[in-house]
């Protein structure tokens, strides 16, 4: 076998059969820019959605020899080995490479197990043993993730383009950051991290990486937001790869929009990597869904940084009190008594269950359950995510 990378942008790839194999292979072909034509009387629901979105063309019928016209590559993926054999034979006569889902030994092309990272592609074959090939690919990917495998660049590097990556670190546990977020942290020259960002990620960084502690302790020590932006832009314009690492998602009460605007105004390219917001993760970690069929169909995430009677608040507390939806309160410990009183005065039942999740996704995580009427007297400390509504009942 001769390994070869195919450049498929704008080139037709014929896929015959709309089942499990096609469902797995077609997204990768679309990522490569292929002009995918699917021929099958029926297709997996995800493929139907791609066809509806015009990401591929779907002919809802059986295969005919004329379908091969103009194809550069064919994937025979029907449940009928006879049809697959016919497609393979016709493709060979037309000198079109053909991948077969049922019999690799009869195919003219094989699909490798593929892994990608930092502009690198690793494709593995294992003499028709796909599980072994996948195991090798995963082993390589694991070493990439751990930072044990480094592929140096030998071509002269282009002039660095000023760039900032805004990364949502998830609710606290380093395992709950996205793969993209983890990679971006490891690729950074400078990491500006908040207190609630997953600290375990920082411990493994090389000594030459500059780590700037932004703290962000509520009502306590913290780096001023203007200073954070100033440092972010300064380091980026100096040619450093800057990672702005926050807990949760930086676009949910994380001032990510301000940082995006500032970097863009300074001519700096920005990549945003979303994170798992603590507003959703903390309730889930204690078995509380923020929505539930037949119970509640909406939820509202609220900043409790300002008291309900503060003239600067933008929250419509009367509307929230009169509704039935789940309320998820962030940064609300300091004003919890005032918030609970305002909700009850506005019409929320005083018996409404409440759950507070403190230090979510950490070894210190704990929860407190109460009623809205007495939640202000509960032992709740920051940082806490507070859920108010029927979904917070003890299950």
| C-beta pairs of 79-84 under 8 Å, 24+ apart in sequence | 79/17, 79/19, 83/16, 84/16
Hey, is 80 helix, strand or coil? coil
Retrieve residue 349's tokens. 């039942």
Tell me whether residue 153 is in a domain.
no
Domain finish residue from 276, 307, 332: 276
In this prediction, residue 219 carries a pLDDT of 52
CATH of the domain at 252: 3.40.1010.10
Tell me whether residue 354 is in a domain.
yes
Tell me which residue has tokens 């995963």: 138
Tell me whether residue 156 is in a domain.
no
104 and 119 part of one domain: no
| C-beta pairs of 337-340 under 8 Å, 24+ apart in sequence | 337/376, 338/307, 338/308, 338/309, 339/304, 339/307, 339/308, 340/372, 340/373, 340/375, 340/376
Tell me whether residue 154 is in a domain.
no
Distance, CA of 32 to CA of 27 (rounded, Å): 9
167 and 263 part of one domain: yes
* Residue 132 structural domain: 115-146
Cite the active site residues.
194, 216
Whether residue 283 contacts residue 178, with contact meaning beta carbons closer than 8 Å, is answered with no
CA–CA distances in Å: residue 314 to residues 107, 211, 307 = 64, 34, 10
266 and 184 part of one domain: yes
Tell me whether residue 299 is in a domain.
yes
In this prediction, residue 218 carries a pLDDT of 54
CATH of the domain at 67: 3.40.50.720
The string over 178-207, giving b where at least 16 C-beta atoms fall within 10 Å of a residue's C-beta and e elsewhere, is beebbbbbbebbbbbbbbbbbeebbeebee
CATH of the domain at 320: 3.30.950.10
Tell me whether residue 132 is in a domain.
yes
Q: In terms of Cα–Cα distance, which of 300, 183, 190 is closest to 236?
A: 190
294 and 271 part of one domain: no
E-only strand ranges, 312-352: 326-330
134 and 52 part of one domain: no
Model confidence over 248-278: pLDDT tens digits? Answer: 999 999 999 999 999 999 999 999 999 999 9
Task: Determine how many CB atoms are found less than 10 A away from the CB of residue 137.
Answer: 18
187 and 260 part of one domain: yes
Say which range, 15-24, 70-79, 202-211, has the weakest mean pLDDT.
Answer: 202-211
When pLDDT is cut at 50, 70 and 90, the band that residue 338 belongs to is very high
Domain finish residue from 276, 291, 315: 276
Domain finish residue from 243, 276, 309: 276
193 and 270 part of one domain: yes
174 and 76 part of one domain: no
343 and 262 part of one domain: no
When pLDDT is cut at 50, 70 and 90, the band that residue 159 belongs to is low
Distance, CA of 338 to CA of 344 (rounded, Å): 10
316 and 380 part of one domain: yes
pTM of whole model > 0.85? no
What is the number of domains present in the chain? Answer: 4
Tell me whether residue 6 is in a domain.
no
Model confidence over 25-67: pLDDT tens digits? Answer: 999 999 999 999 999 999 999 999 999 999 999 999 999 999 9
Element (H, E) at 38: strand 35-39
169 and 270 part of one domain: yes
341 and 376 part of one domain: yes
């Amino acid at each position: 076998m001769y390994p070869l990378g195919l450049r498929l942008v704008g080139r037709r790839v014929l896929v015959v059969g709309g089942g499990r194999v096609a469902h797995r292979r077609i997204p990768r072909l679309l990522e490569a820019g292929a002009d995918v034509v699917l021929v099958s009387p029926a297709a997996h629901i995800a493929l139907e959605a791609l066809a509806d979105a015009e990401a591929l063309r779907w002919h809802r019928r059986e295969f005919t020899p004329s379908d091969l016209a103009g194809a550069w590559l064919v994937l025979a993926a029907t449940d009928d080995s006879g049809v697959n054999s016919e497609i393979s034979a016709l493709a060979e006569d037309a000198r079109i490479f053909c991948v077969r889902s049922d019999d690799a030994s009869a195919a003219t092309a094989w699909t490798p197990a593929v892994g990608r990272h930092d502009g690198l592609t690793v494709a593995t074959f294992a003499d028709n043993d796909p599980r072994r090939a996948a195991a090798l690919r995963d082993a390589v990917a694991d070493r990439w993730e751990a930072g044990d495998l480094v592929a140096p660049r030998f071509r002269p590097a282009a002039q660095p383009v000023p760039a900032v990556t805004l990364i949502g670190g998830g609710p606290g546990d380093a395992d709950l950051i996205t793969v993209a977020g983890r990679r971006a942290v490891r690729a950074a020259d400078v990491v500006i991290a908040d207190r609630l960002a997953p600290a375990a990620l920082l411990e493994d960084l090389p000594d030459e990486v500059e780590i700037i502690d932004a703290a962000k302790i509520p009502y306590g020590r913290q780096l001023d937001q203007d200073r954070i932006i100033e440092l972010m832009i300064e380091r980026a314009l100096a040619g450093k790869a800057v990672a702005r690492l926050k807990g949760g998602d930086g676009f949910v009460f994380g001032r990510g929009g301000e940082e995006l605007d500032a970097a863009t105004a300074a001519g700096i390219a920005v990549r945003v990597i979303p994170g798992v917001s603590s507003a959703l993760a903390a309730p889930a970690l204690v078995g509380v869904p923020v929505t539930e069929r037949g119970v509640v169909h909406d939820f509202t995430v609220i900043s409790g940084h300002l008291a309900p009677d503060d003239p600067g608040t933008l929250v419509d507390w009367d509307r929230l009190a009169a509704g039935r939806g789940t309320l998820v309160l962030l940064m609300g410990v300091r004003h919890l008594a005032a918030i609970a009183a305002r909700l009850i005065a506005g019409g929320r039942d005083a018996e409404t269950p409440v759950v507070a999740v403190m230090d979510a996704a950490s070894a210190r995580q704990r929860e407190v359950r109460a009623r809205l009427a007495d939640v202000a007297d509960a032992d709740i400390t920051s940082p806490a995510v507070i859920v108010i509504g029927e979904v917070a009942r003890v299950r």
